[in-house]
Structure 1
Amino acid sequence: MPDREKPSRIIRGVIIWGLLFILPPSCLFAALPASGIEARYPQVRQFFPDADRFGPVEGEAPAAPVYRNGAIVGYVLRTQDIAPIPAYSGKPVNVLVGIDLEGRITGAEVIEHHEPILLVGIPEQRLFDFTRQHVGKSITDRIEVGGREAEGSVSLDAISGATVTVKVVNRSIMRAARRVAEERGILETGADTAAVQARVREELYQPADWVQLTGDGSIRRLLIEREEVEAAFGGTAGEGRGISTGQPECLPGEPCGTFIDLYYTYLNPPMVGRNLLGQREYERLMADLGEGGHAIALMANGIYSFKGSGYVRGGIFDRIQVVQGDQTILFRDTDYQRLMDPELEGMPEFGEKEIFIIREGYDFDPGRPWQLELLVRRQVGALESVFTTFTAEYETPEAYIVRPAPAGPAPEAGIWQSIWADRALDIAILGVLLAGLTLILIFQDALARRARLLVVLRTGFLLLTLLVIGWLFRGQLSVVNTFTFVNALRGEFRWETFLTDPVLFILWTYVAATLLLWGRGVYCGWLCPFGAMQKLANMAAQRLHVPQLKLPAAVHERLWAVKYLILLGLFGISLQSLATAEVYAEVEPFKTAVTLRFQREWTYIAYALALVLISAFNCKFYCKYLCPLGAALAVPARLRIFDWLKRHKECGRPCQVCANECEIQAIDPIGRINVNECHYCLDCQVTYWDAHKCPPMVERRKRREKAPEARAAAERMEAALGGVRPVTMGKESS
């Protein structure tokens, strides 16, 4: 993350924010100087020390031309504008890149990132140093991240513990630079039309065994001996370390010198997939893949696991990747299946047998060669590692595919589309949760009459919000998101900026709709992971009979204003610098408690835990008094269309049952619900329908219970009078 800026800049930001409300817009914008890329990013001068000037950013692949003596000598670009590839955090790492007219990278500097892994023991400087390794490299180079240089490739030192991040940075730089070079004629595209992808021949199938499929190249092999690994690390800090020196004896049943004996194949052709998996499993896999999906199988023996354990911690397999052309395909835990009970005759036993899915968004072409890359890492210190990469080639046998003729230009798939494809399961689960919440809100009256059922549903949903939406999907909204949106409206608005994180985009869309229908309480009371954490802590405390502390009404109402003041301060800072606002937005404990799951410096953890502890005594203390996101949601919530929280005319005059029970204290003494503060827990609606607690409902129940007795007494009196009804209320019954 960017460094903290000086207080003077923060003060200027607050002043500018104030001017937005005081001066007419025309005066304000006239006072701001026009700023080009040089004014915004002074480091571009280091990329081109002899440049006379820098032109405006332009083009489909946005870049600013660099001039010397009136002639263009290069271009400056931002990777996020051209190749916003999500990194470990799910958001792109934005890199400022300079290229000259020969396709050489003249500068590369990280200008923005959101990588939480770099906040846990890995200095940011390591990322900056890695990025600068690209300087002097050609955009046509084949770059290997980690390991030693081989023929036809250039190696860059990786960062131990941040492998995924640095690979994404490398891919972003190279892809963005190539796009700019192709558009400006520095690099030839090689063809005027996009080649149509090859198609797998689904009708081609014949029974085959292991010998046949390995013999014709359908199944390939990567055999790495221990001596090869030692040689690869020779001359590095990893020489003489690692698994090979720690295994003086061979593993039972393994060749003595084997590091890994890996077989790999492309499963979509029936000749391979159906023979290997069997017809039923093959058809199930193809149905799961859908149109545009692909699958590869990896099977291995040896002392080295191609899976590793990184996917358990971070959800990404950090030892393998597939490379095709200029795209690198990484695999997440959602792209992985076990290869169970293979049916291929003659196939040997393997210790590891797995299937990996290539999602549709990657634009994988079965008719083009691809490479399987195996990363081997050796620890050389507490936080230091060195890497080497072993590459294996694969080309689908020509008999298995059909190559259609080119059909003309084809649009390139958007980066966000591939991200959505990768997170299809997350999106589906989130959709189910939001649909369930919508049903709860629609049928709230019926559920409020069934208090126990509502308690079970609400508690279960809060657990899902914390565990699934929060800790699993990292779907915690932040006030910084609102600042990003406002800044996008003030500048160049692009939907792609917000579509790169599907979970956050869907949540914000749902929140926007519910703000108009129900108010801010739907998010704050049901969908906020940190809010759910506080509420669950308070529920547990009440079960343990922990005394609850309720502030006096006068103090409570004045503390409401604190979160609005925090929001105004952060908003003013964001107008000057969004990065600085993000630093001060640490007043939100969301990143610590939800995004990083408490894996952070102890000061941040102590702050977040203190807020959770306070909420055990005063329900959702942070949400009520300190949360700038809640304040930001309360502003548009004033446009709420409907009022679906029912009230009796006796509420507040004189009845105070709901007001006394409201843990958020959102009901005033005269019975009105403050929708700007209400968290829509529906507790007051349960009381509203409770015929044993709500005084008006109790009175109605008693009248209903007395009605049969009154009728029976009247009938007895009528019988005693010989069938003549008694006079009632001045009228004689006939």
Structure 2
Amino acid sequence: MIHIRLLITLCLLPFSVLAQWMEVTPEVAKLFPTATRTQVADEMGLTPVFQLNQQLGFVFESDDLVNFPGFSGESINLRVGLDMQGVIQGVEIVRHHEPIFLHGLGEDPLLEFIAQYVGRQIKHRFIVGSRQGKMADGRTVYLDGVTKATVSVMVVNDTLITAASKVARAKLQGFGGAEVSSLKQDNYEAASLSQLAELGAIFHWQMTLDEAADALDIQPGRLADVTNTSEGESFIDIQALFVSSPLIGINLLGQQEYQRLLDELAEGEIAVLLLSRGAFDFVGDDFVAGTSPSRLGLMQNEFAVDLRDIDFYSYYSPRVSDELDGYSNIRVFVIQGSSGFDPAKVMDWRLTVNLSNNFLLPRLGQLNEPFQLPESLTEPPPEAEVPLPLWMQIWKQRLTEIIMLSIYLLLLGILFTKQRSLSVRFGRYLPQARLVALLFTIGFIGYYTQGQLSVVNIYTLLLSVWNGFDIQVFLLDPVIFILWSFVFVSLFLWGRGLFCGWLCPFGAMQELVGQLAAKLRLPQWKPDDRLHRRLQLIKYPMLLLLVAVSFYSLSLAETLAEVEPFKTAVTMNFVRYWPFMLYALLLLAAGLFIHKFYCRYLCPLGAGLAILGRLRLFSWLRRRDECGQPCQLCNKQCQIKAIHSDGRIDYDECIQCLECLVIIDDSKRCVVSRYGNKSRKRTLNQNTGVKVVEIKTT
């Protein structure tokens, strides 16, 4: 009855536990073709993507991070692959309802548009639909727009860049993920424009034609021809005022207009009033209200800050301080709260100038001007605790699992260290103890903690040592790290058997299958010793092949590692594409007729552990002089055939089930002890004349 319950438990258990590691889905594979596995999405909806133990990046859907309504009134949901350097690896459309593409242009123009982002660094500044059609420098990217679909593609751009920037700042190094300063909101006092200028609160960029030509390394006359600038006229005269600050906004806009501006802003947004009266304006003739200017850009920490026109004066005439009279172009732009922009830090304003009057051969130049707001206008972010390293956070989250695993490993250590004394006193309880250990290994170590070790771990370690060892990579999975540390030490004490017999989930499955076969009295195929030894050698060239291939191609090595059924049977909970399922089930089915077939003949991980296990310091399993000569009981009882006919134990193959140790210490089972006792009784009778009677009790 207990075995029927056990079989039902094993059938249901794989589907009741959510695995931490997941197989690469076709959607992820399109964005990261070399990915070998993923993890469960985190609280932000980001799916970490790995090639072996190396993280390639993240896959996410934009709807989990932003919500920008499109022309249809609904968001455009994009699936994006972003690598660890902030480069966009791929973009796919999950859902959209833009009528211009669904019922007009078709989806091909939209697909061609998003394809322009692939391979781009998100630190770039993206300008959509500019006639300049090329990169002005290494940080500005001009993208071809879609005629008749300007609004829709702008929404796509905002959605993609904002979502990707959020991911980069939250997860990637070098993207300014720390908290930023904000503009003070309680510092209003009456002040004139000149007073604000003296305070350093106003960015005022002025440049004559000669100064601009010198900065652009071009003759002034050439620049005048291109920009239609008259000699003596100011080439650049731009002011930028951070009107989100009440000190600036109320004084320049008035209380009523300042309040109207606040009503237009979303939480965390910063409004910038831009004014121009120079010959070269900050927007060109092709500028579309509600978009980003192609000429003017803002950079901070080498990261492009998106400036977006809010068309603040579409229904209202500009109402600003009389001191700002004379400016021909007045617009309000916003910087989104998710941009990572820090108003307290140095910013770099940039103007892009077309230096060629030949449309077919454009030549672009860049003018830069740094600026920093005074400390009196900003306030630092609240002090945040220094976050723990990621591996420490993971260890803290999995503390319960770590404690339970450590207790089990401690018990195993005690059992193996005191195996001789424990076998004498408690040997009769070994079958029950083994059953509990096997179920714990499958259920807790295997399915719950995903602690199935693999040959992949071996060549991952070798490659890490070869390329520069970083222990933090291995600390990211505490269960695997603890198991490998324990197994490594145990190899030098007891050999391979402790892991293979007590810690391998798939090995435990095979052993339970073997117990089921014994209960069902299924016929067993037992090869002769010569054939058995030859079959045992198969796993060693398999190990060498996998290790050698890993130094050539990690992707190929990971594919070849599917010779292990561990990913299918344990990591994927038997929920996988049918060829992998069939392979794993066939290996388990083979165990019904050949005890632990995979472990004995095919397991490359076992081969690797056996090689290191040859360096063990002790041979713990007790032997008698009579073992093998003439007694063959342990040899016959050892189902894995790790005991030679001469009584020696093959520690390279032994799984340390301890059954032979219990037999040798059981006076009723061990042939030597049993018949030795009878001989001693006969000798005592002959010498004393007293007959010794053995009373059997039931």
If the length of structure 2 is used for normalisation, what is the TM-score?
0.49
- The higher radius of gyration belongs to 2
If the length of structure 1 is used for normalisation, what is the TM-score?
0.47
